[in-house]
Amino acid sequence: MKLHFLGSSASEGIPNPYCKCEICQRARITKGKNIRTRSAAVIDDVMQIDMSPEFSYQVMRDNVDVTKIQDLLFTHTHPDHFNVGDLFSRMEGYGFEITHPLEVFGNDIAINGCLDVLPGYSKDRFKFNCLVPFVTVETSSGAKVTPLLANHAKWEFCYIYFIEKEGKTMLYGHDSGWFPELTWQWLQDKKLDLVVLECTYGYNQNPRTDGHMSIETVIATQEKMIADGIYHSASQLVVSHLSHSSGFMHEDLVSIFEPYSIEVAYDGLIKLI
């Protein structure tokens, strides 16, 4: 599998346009990997996870042909992940020479939100699938996807995704704090080749944060995965969904996580497993 990070920031982006904190000011000067758009990713050029407000810019910047994408997974409906209005550009009369429907997966709120902004959609352009926690579905792009419960918003099922394809496994794990017990139980007998965790908070002195993860929560999650036998010697772990409020530049986070063999994502990063 190939994982392409379209964006790697938390909800404000880096720099936050309304912020003059040290991180945002330094990011405006140094640019490079410190410039972060909102989090989204593409797997094997055919599956997308979340749609950020910068979607059109991200795919233009990285020369991604989104007409190849067959499946779109939504983790939840917070606006930095659920820029569903951009799907209107795929409607008949707006997008041309499209040869397959886009299969959209998410919770009931996400699916109904899509239907609200795509009135009169054609089944040649979209198919909608409401996901149930811990029930595996097979996508048109040939992956098996299981939505696991996240520890995030309280008013909707927020999902992290366990994805299996061609003998490889990936856990796409944000937005979430320390995973709910039911999610840990489901993962017990699995083997993970690639783990993506979020690190919205900086140092928090709490290894089991709610809503989002801290640096300590990321490290504690890795330790539990190793102890549970689901994280093996060749497993890779990448942190993303990073915030200016953590107080760290990209190179600072690299130094913090290097002793744990944890990689820090940046916009445009491609990981192969």
The residues, ordered by sequence, that sit 6+ positions from 190 with a Cβ below 8 Å of its Cβ are: 162, 169, 230
The per-residue pLDDT for range 220-270, each reduced to its tens digit, is 999 999 999 999 999 999 999 999 999 999 999 999 999 999 999 999 999
- Separation of alpha carbons 191 and 153, rounded Å: 27
What CATH number corresponds to the domain at position 226? 3.60.15.10
Residue labelled with tokens 């998410």: 106
d(CA 242, CA 219): 15
| Per-residue pLDDT tens digits for 51-101 | 999 999 999 999 999 999 999 999 999 999 999 999 999 999 999 999 999
**What's the whole-number mean pLDDT along residues 153-164?**
96
How many domains does the structure of the chain reveal?
Answer: 1
Q: What is the pTM of this model?
A: 0.97
Q: How far apart are CA 59 and CA 69, in angstroms?
A: 12
pLDDT band at 126 (very low <50, low <70, confident <90, very high): very high
Q: How confident is the model at residue 205 (pLDDT cuts 50, 70, 90)?
A: confident
- In DSSP notation, 218-231 reads HHHHHHHHHHTT-E
Residue whose tokens read 């409020």: 245
Angle at which helix 215-227 crosses helix 250-257, to 10 degrees, equals: 30
Q: Which helix (H) or strand (E) holds 195?
A: strand 192-198
DSSP string across 89-101: GGSTTTS-S--SP
Res 9: pLDDT: 98
242 closest CA partner among 3, 41, 35: 35
Please tell me the distance from the alpha carbon of residue 60 to that of residue 134, in angstroms, as a whole number: 34
- Amino acid, res. 92: E
User: What range defines the domain where residue 72 resides?
Assistant: 2-270
Q: What's the mean per-residue pLDDT of the chain? A: 97
The structure tokens 């140094």 sit at 30
Distances in whole angstroms, Cα of residue 80 to Cα of each of 25, 53, 74, 75: 22, 6, 11, 11
